[in-house]
Amino acid sequence: MSDASSIHPVDEKLPAGRLATLGIQHVLVMYGGAVAVPLIVGRALQLSPQDVAFLISADLFVCGLVTIIQSLGFGRHVGIRLPVMMGVTFASVGPMVSMATMTPGTEGARMIFGAIIGAGFIALLIAPLMGRLLRFFPPVVTGTIILVIGVSLMRVGINWTFGNPFGPTAPKLIDPAHAEWLAQMKTLAESGGPAVPSGFAIAPTVSNPIYAEPSHIALSALVLVSILAIARFGRGLISNIAVLSGVVIGCVAASILGMMHFDRVADAGWFAVVTPLRFGMPIFDPVLIATMTLVMIVVMIESTGMFLALGEITGRPVSQQNLTAGLRVDGIGTMIGGLFNTFPYTSFSQNVGLVGVTGVKSRYVCVAGGIIMIVLGLIPKMGALVEAVPTFILGGAGLVMFGMVAATGVRILTTVDFKSSRNNLFVVAVSIGFGLIPLLAPNYLMWMPHAIHPIIESGIVLASIVAVLLNAFFNGVRFEQSDAVEAARMADSH
């Protein structure tokens, strides 16, 4: 006998209209975070605007695809079958930006995607073992790592507002008169004059008029103030999409002032298939794969906490088999991401929070959200529109988004007992110190073996390694499920 009352709220199939409405709400909540990562990494790789727009479309497409796999489930062993929206994790941004800085262009993209595919494959293999690995990542470790991630990313948001320290927006430029003199010296050397020393270069000494331009700072501040005002006075969905709304307000102001252009949006098509391996065959570098694998372990720890918390919110406890099935999708989704020119995937915690706020527990709402994301990914104009957003507009939003990542780490650390276990202070203090080394002394590794540079030039990886080792040294290795659930409740922002 089939009775509607016997259907668990998680498995409830709502009317199509309500599904679409609630699905759009989930998409709006995650949209700003979903498109931020391809923007950051694409511009760090110095890709063309068309390629960056493609990365955004590919990301939206794969977000939707992996969300459907996770929420709908396939067989007994793939998918958590809970209302989960999957998106690119900010935990992966720091290492990817380091890789992009080291090797820009399409070759760097191939190295990043190779590392992502390799890390996704390893994550798929170790998913059943995560129950044993969890003991190495209690809240004192995960909170510290997320805090360092946020602090590391703040540099990106600040540079969005004022300009990058290198390139066309650098604070200082080379004096044209000095550059002309050097060119004359090289010409003279070719005709028998004194040779110019090898590696000789002129230092930039002229102030760049487009660095920290007051109008750019003003618009960035407008975005920041708008986000804070909407978060303060908005209610429900409006408050949840404060960041996205602030960016829209900034874009409108920039358009009115003639500082945002839509030529490439007009040229972009209305439909295009997202093709895999756009930049060529991935490059599988073992060191880069190891770096991204460490990121994936952190991501899977986060996912574990999210799944356990979501199980309590929806009234469907998560078994070990369910947990493994959900974590497998982190690995599968990351492999799909690498193949389709995009990034590692995990459950978006703000959407987990939305389930608690709305009280709608049906996983089919997230399936509908996944379908909407796929449709958005197949519309190139959407990617081109996001790519057209000026970086200084993103700067105001970046300050909030990346600061919220750091604040999330702090909130997780509030669940840690620092009074009766003062050694936890050493874990946090020393790990943060190591995490800041590449930020404050980026050339510290100049005499170290080049093969290990991708690992030690990432403050996030350094902080992760130190936090795990110090926690094991001071506290031993143990894991309490209640700790993971409480930490997940506190981590309501990626």
Mean pLDDT of 406-418: 83
Lowest-confidence segment of 46-50, 137-141, 441-445, 483-487 by average pLDDT: 483-487
Cβ proximity of 109 and 303 under 8 Å:
no
Cβ proximity of 396 and 141 under 8 Å:
no
Write the DSSP string, 369-383.
HHHHHHHHHT-HHHH
91-100: buried (b, 16+ CB within 10 Å) or exposed (e) per residue?
Answer: bbbbbbbbbb
pLDDT surpasses 60 at 3: no
Q: How far apart are CA 322 and CA 325, in angstroms?
A: 5
**Residue 271: burial class (beta carbons within 10 Å; 0-12, 13-18, 19+):** exposed
| 366-378 pLDDT tens trace | 898 899 889 888 8
Maximum mean pLDDT: which of 23-32, 45-54, 118-127, 159-168: 118-127
| 225-274 pLDDT tens trace | 998 898 888 876 677 667 778 888 988 998 898 888 777 777 777 888 88
Neighbours of 120 (CB within 10 A): 26
Write the DSSP string, 422-448.
THHHHHHHHHHHHHHHHHH-TTTTTTS
Cβ proximity of 348 and 86 under 8 Å:
yes
**Local structure of residue 171 (DSSP, 8 states):** S
Find the angle CA(61)-CA(65)-CA(67) to the nearest 5 degrees.
115
346 strand-pairing partners: 87
**Residue 463: burial class (beta carbons within 10 Å; 0-12, 13-18, 19+):** buried
pLDDT band with cut points at 50, 70 and 90 for residue 432: very high
Closest to 251 in 3D by CA, of 92, 35, 469: 35
Residue with tokens 């300050």: 399
Cβ proximity of 87 and 348 under 8 Å:
yes
pLDDT band with cut points at 50, 70 and 90 for residue 490: low
Q: How far apart are CA 406 and CA 374, in angstroms?
A: 30
Cβ proximity of 106 and 90 under 8 Å:
no
Q: Is the dihedral of CA 342, 346, 351, 353 positive or negative?
A: negative
Q: How far apart are CA 453 and CA 445, in angstroms?
A: 7
Q: How far apart are CA 26 and CA 404, in angstroms?
A: 19
Find the angle CA(57)-CA(325)-CA(60) to the nearest 5 degrees.
5
Mean pLDDT of 302-317: 74
| Length of the chain in terms of residues written | 494
Taking the model in full, what pTM does it have? 0.68
88 strand-pairing partners: 345
Closest to 119 in 3D by CA, of 289, 246, 254, 270: 289
How far apart, in Å, do the first and last CA atoms of the chain sit? 43
Q: 103: which residues sit within 8 A by CB, 6+ positions away?
A: 111
pLDDT surpasses 50 at 210: yes
pLDDT band with cut points at 50, 70 and 90 for residue 119: very high
Q: How far apart are CA 5 and CA 119, in angstroms?
A: 43
pLDDT surpasses 70 at 454: no
Cβ proximity of 408 and 492 under 8 Å:
yes
Q: How far is CA 228 from CA 148, 214, 235, 302, 409, in A?
A: 23, 21, 13, 27, 20
